[in-house]
């Protein structure tokens, strides 16, 4: 079984060098505040530094939840329901504003990016409830508001996690999974009890953007008082859910990402339940590698574009 084309082997060195450059620029490995709230505050400041507002987007409240909305000039082929990353504690739709504007323009998609509530102020299931509320509104009003009844969902890291949870809740609570035609899931955490790669057993020695200490901290904030066994509940960790009757999905991840196993396992289980599943692994690429300009990033976006075009066709 090959996880990537042979030609990718020649692109490893660039991925390794770029990872080192990014980590040096970000000052990874510095002192971490002992106080929980101060640690969250500092990390949120770092995330705000990468926010870029696109003039193509507009703020719109949907189902009581703040969102960023992009409308294509041509009739919308579908609605892209997007969830941003940030470990369920950080970030906002603005970290993807430019990318979402580009997605809307190139694919003629109405893009709705959800500004869901964040932990630790709002632990699980507050964020998931916000995501479901917007999904419910789009199911009921997407065609009248945007001219499209079909929905594609996607997200990065925590956003991929929320996309997977939202699909399960749409299927089980709303009975409307047929409205979703695809899921674009990038390096998400699907088992919050901790996969082997999360616990440090990675096949790559490239230092990752994520550090192993972040995962217990995320659970402390997002799932306070829960043991690792508690975290295996399907409503918390979608890897443990019944995955029947879900739309086609593309799972994108780097082999140096601590969340590698989450995508490996989830893609396989997605397929085992009879769904259309694609797995795209990029050697020696770290967490959030699509933000790094390099050849493997170009290949990843080409694969994502092809997937989106296929499910929209």
User: Tell me: the pLDDT tens digits for 79-103?
Assistant: 999 999 999 999 999 999 999 999 9
Would you give the DSSP letter of residue 149? -
User: Tell me: the pLDDT tens digits for 169-196?
Assistant: 999 999 999 999 999 999 999 999 999 9
pLDDT greater than 70 at residue 29: no
Query: For the chain, first and last CA: distance in Å?
Result: 29
Phi-psi region of 86 (alpha: psi -120 to 50; beta: other; left: phi over 0): left
DSSP letter string over 55-81? TT-EEEEETTEEEEEE--SSPPSEEEE
pLDDT greater than 80 at residue 28: no
Q: What is the pTM of this model?
A: 0.97
Q: Where are the domains of the chain?
A: 6-312
Helix (H, G, I), strand (E, B) or coil at 208: coil
Q: What is the C-alpha to C-alpha distance for residues 91 and 114, in angstroms, rounded to an integer?
A: 11
pLDDT greater than 80 at residue 70: yes
Q: What is the C-alpha to C-alpha distance for residues 83 and 188, in angstroms, rounded to an integer?
A: 11
Q: What is the C-alpha to C-alpha distance for residues 48 and 44, in angstroms, rounded to an integer?
A: 6
- Token output for 17: 């060098």
**Does residue 58 contact residue 111 with C-beta atoms inside 8 Å?**
no
Q: What is the C-alpha to C-alpha distance for residues 87 and 214, in angstroms, rounded to an integer?
A: 9
Supply the pLDDT for residue 34: 86
Q: What is the C-alpha to C-alpha distance for residues 242 and 127, in angstroms, rounded to an integer?
A: 21
Domain 6-312 CATH assignment equals 3.30.230.80? no
């Amino acid at each position: 079984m090959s996880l990537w084309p042979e030609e990718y082997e020649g692109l490893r060195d660039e991925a390794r060098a770029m990872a080192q450059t990014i980590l040096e620029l970000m000052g990874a490995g510095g002192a971490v505040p002992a106080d929980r709230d101060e640690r969250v505050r500092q990390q949120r400041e770092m995330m705000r530094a990468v926010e870029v507002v696109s003039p193509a987007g507009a703020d719109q409240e949907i189902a009581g939840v703040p969102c960023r909305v992009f409308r294509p000039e041509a009739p919308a082929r579908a609605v892209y329901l997007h969830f941003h990353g940030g470990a369920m504690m950080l970030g906002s739709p603005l970290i993807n504003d430019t990318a979402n504007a580009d997605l809307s323009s190139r694919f003629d998609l109405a893009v709705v990016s959800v500004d869901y509530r964040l932990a630790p102020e709002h632990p699980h299931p507050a964020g998931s409830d916000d995501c479901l509320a917007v999904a419910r509104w789009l199911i009921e009003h997407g065609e009248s508001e945007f001219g499209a009844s079909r929905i594609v969902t996607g997200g990065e890291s925590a956003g991929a996690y929320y996309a997977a949870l939202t699909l399960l809740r749409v299927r089980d609570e709303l009975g409307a999974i047929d409205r979703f035609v695809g899921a674009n899931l990038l390096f998400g955490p699907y088992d919050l009890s901790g996969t082997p790669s999360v616990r440090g057993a990675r096949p790559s020695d490239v230092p990752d953007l994520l550090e192993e200490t972040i995962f217990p901290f995320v659970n402390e904030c997002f799932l306070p008082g829960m043991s690792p066994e508690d975290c295996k509940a399907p409503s918390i960790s979608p890897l443990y859910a019944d995955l029947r009757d879900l739309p086609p999905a593309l799972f994108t991840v780097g082999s140096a990402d601590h969340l590698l196993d989450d995508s490996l396992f989830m893609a396989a289980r997605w397929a085992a339940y009879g769904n259309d599943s694609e797995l795209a692994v990029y050697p020696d690429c770290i967490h959030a590698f699509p933000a790094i300009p390099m050849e493997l990033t170009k290949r990843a976006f080409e694969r994502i574009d092809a997937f989106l075009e296929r499910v929209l066709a």
